Amino acid sequence: MFRAAAAAALILTGGLAPQSTPVTPPAALLATVAAGRDAVGFHAQGSGAAAMYFWYPARRGGGVSMADYLGTDRDTLAGALIQAGAPDAEVQAFTAAATLAGANAQADRRMHSLVLVAQGNGQSVADQAVFCEILASHGFVVATTPSPTRRHAMTSEDDIPAFASEQAEDLSRAIQPAVRFGALTTRIALVGHSFGARAALLLAMRDRRVTRLVSLDGGIGTATGTDAFRRANEFDARAPMRILHFFERRDAFMKPDFALFDMLTAAKITTIELPGMAHAHFTTLGFAAAAYPGIAAATRAGPEIGSSLRTMVERTLAFLEQ
Residue 265's pLDDT is 96
The DSSP code sequence of 256-306 is ---HHHHH-TTEEEEEEE-TT--GGGGSHHHHHHHH-HHHHHHTT--TTHH
Q: 286 near 279, Cβ under 8 Å? A: no
Give residue limits of the domains in the chain. 4-321
User: Distance of alpha carbon 49 from its chain centroid, rounded?
Assistant: 18
Rounding to the nearest 10 degrees, give the CA dihedral for residues 51, 35, 291, 6: 20
Long-range CB pairs of 79-82 (<8 Å, 24+ gap) are 80/4, 80/7, 80/8, 80/11, 80/12, 81/11, 81/295, 81/298, 81/299
The DSSP code sequence of 77-92 is HHHHHHHTT--HHHHH
* Cα–Cα nearest to 145, from 114, 171, 111, 110: 171
Q: What per-residue string of b and e applies to 73-100 under the rule 16 or more CB within 10 Å gives b?
A: bbebbbebbbebebbeebbebbbebbbb
Overall size of the chain counted in residues: 322
Q: 191 near 316, Cβ under 8 Å? A: yes
DSSP structure class, residue 120: -
Residue 3's pLDDT is 44
> Across the 322 residues of the chain, what is the mean pLDDT of every consecutive 10-residue run?
44 35 56 92 92 97 95 94 97 95 96 98 96 98 96 92 96 98 97 98 96 97 95 95 98 97 97 98 97 97 97 98 90
Q: Does the 4-321 domain belong in CATH 3.40.50.1820?
A: yes
According to DSSP, the residues that pair with 34 across neighbouring strands are none
Residue 193 φ/ψ, nearest 5 degrees: -105, 135
Residue 32's pLDDT is 86
Residue 48's pLDDT is 84
Residue 194's pLDDT is 98
DSSP structure class, residue 128: G
